[in-house]
Amino acid sequence: MDRFPNQVEIERSALMHNLKQIRSVLDPETAVTAVVKADAYGHGMVPAAKALAEAGADRLAVAHLAEGLRLRKAGVGCPIVVLCGILTRSEAGAVVEHGLIPVLPEPGPAELLDEEARRRGRRVPVQLKIDTGMGRLGAPSDGTGGFVRRVMDCRGLEPEGLLSHLSSADEPDRTFTEGQIRRFQAALETARGQGMDTRASSLANSAGTLEYPEARLGMVRPGILLYGGSPSPDLTPCIDLKPAMTLRARVLQVRDIPPGSPVSYGRTYTTSGPERIAVLSAGYSDGLPRTLSNRGQVLIHGERVPIRGRICMNLTMADVTAVPGVRPGDEAVFLGRQGRRVLSGDDVAGACGTISYEIYCALGQCGKKTILS
């Protein structure tokens, strides 16, 4: 079978290794909810979920109901949390039928789900989303008491925990995050005061898990660390992570170009001296941000070389003047390791002004993934 010339390769073993590394900083009884939303940050949701469940993830978290249903259809049996909850009666029905755990940001969807659960004679575990400062989904933390009471009144529901999200745990200044942790602890007290079981509560994303032991509580929800990424270039993880994603392409042609020659659309780059330009087989249709034009780098023969001119739909030019012996058919790596050198998600993201999360999602969306063991 012909392999597509540009391959996003995912190493299953790296995901499993990263989960073990995260576990190494946790108390043995702390549960891990592995976040596999957005196609596992582009790494392929079903194979990633299976690898992480096999490596001992206690739960999985997805953003949307449809992702949870896809995992169930693929035979994934472990508890699945639906972070963005549900809105409609049919979504509520699907949650009950497939045994998913929705995160509810307000009482309305809770009462809808309650009706669907009781109609089927079931009790459904739910999580209550509390906003402690993220300013996104959830009930304000000072309204926790009323929210918990409304949900506790639903006989078809089994509230099992509060869930909140940290907005700034990757920043050097700890003040805001410490405030979020305090507000979450107060919300937990309130919920327990109402007689709610809060054992499955969680607050810590990847940055919170590494940087704030007091945010780990009984359960953590790491995402980016599982894929070998860092939550931010400002935060160097204290554990040994293996990046799981590599994007490889090929050199299609090597050209010796005279001084003063334009390269690619719009002539945004002109050679200053005689230059050797390699034409590479990947472009923005492979998920490379076009903003890497004239900014990014690629690895060829184990060396970092600069991208020249605009990235095209299927092609990118790189300056290999300093690298002897480059030939058509040679491998170019846009993300990942080649020989001794690595281009990390943060390297690529930093060159084009975004975060590694977006790079992983974009490369993973192109659908030419190979899963390696």
Ligand X SMILES: *Cc1c(COP(=O)(O)O)cnc(C)c1O
Contact footprint for ligand X (CB under 6 A)? 35, 37, 83, 165, 205-206, 221-224, 231
Q: Which residue is nearest to ligand X (CB)?
A: 223
Compute the least distance from the CB of residue 35 to ligand X, in Å. 4
Burial 342-372 (b: 16+ CB within 10 A, else e): ebbbbbbbbbbeebbbbbbbbbbebebbebe
Which of 165, 248 has the CB closer to ligand X? 165
Compute the least distance from the CB of residue 352 to ligand X, in Å. 20
First to last CA, the chain: 19
> Would you report the helix, strand and coil content of the chain in percent, each value rounded to 5?
35, 25, 40
Q: Which of 37, 50, 129, 369 is catalytic?
A: 37
**Which pairing describes strands 101-104 and 124-131: parallel, antiparallel, or unpaired?**
parallel
Compute the least distance from the CB of residue 83 to ligand X, in Å. 5
Would residue 212 show up in a list of annotated catalytic residues for this protein? no
Q: Which of 129, 212, 265, 360 is catalytic?
A: 265
Compute the least distance from the CB of residue 162 to ligand X, in Å. 12
Rg (CA), the chain: 24
Compute the least distance from the CB of residue 112 to ligand X, in Å. 21
Compute the least distance from the CB of residue 61 to ligand X, in Å. 7
Burial 98-132 (b: 16+ CB within 10 A, else e): eebbbbbbbbebbbbbbebbbeeeeebbbbbbbbb
Which of 9, 358 has the CB closer to ligand X? 358
Q: Is the Cβ–Cβ distance between 14 and 244 less than 8 Å?
A: yes
Which of 93, 133 has the CB closer to ligand X? 133
Contacts of 47 (CB under 8 A, 6+ apart): 10, 12, 371
Length of the chain: 373
Report the alpha-carbon distance of residue 102 to residue 82 in Å, rounded: 5
Compute the least distance from the CB of residue 259 to ligand X, in Å. 46
Which of 131, 319 has the CB closer to ligand X? 131
Which of 144, 164 has the CB closer to ligand X? 164
Choose among 258, 246, 346: nearest CA to 286: 246
State CA 11 to chain mean position distance: 15
Could you write out the DSSP letters of every residue in 101-140? EEEESSHHHHHHHHHHHHHTT--EEEEEEEESSS-SSSEE
The counts of H helices and E strands in the chain are 11, 19
Beta bridge pairs of residue 10: 245, 371
Would residue 50 show up in a list of annotated catalytic residues for this protein? no
Report the alpha-carbon distance of residue 174 to residue 182 in Å, rounded: 12
Choose among 364, 372, 366: nearest CA to 45: 364
Which of 85, 223 has the CB closer to ligand X? 223
Catalytic residues: 37, 265
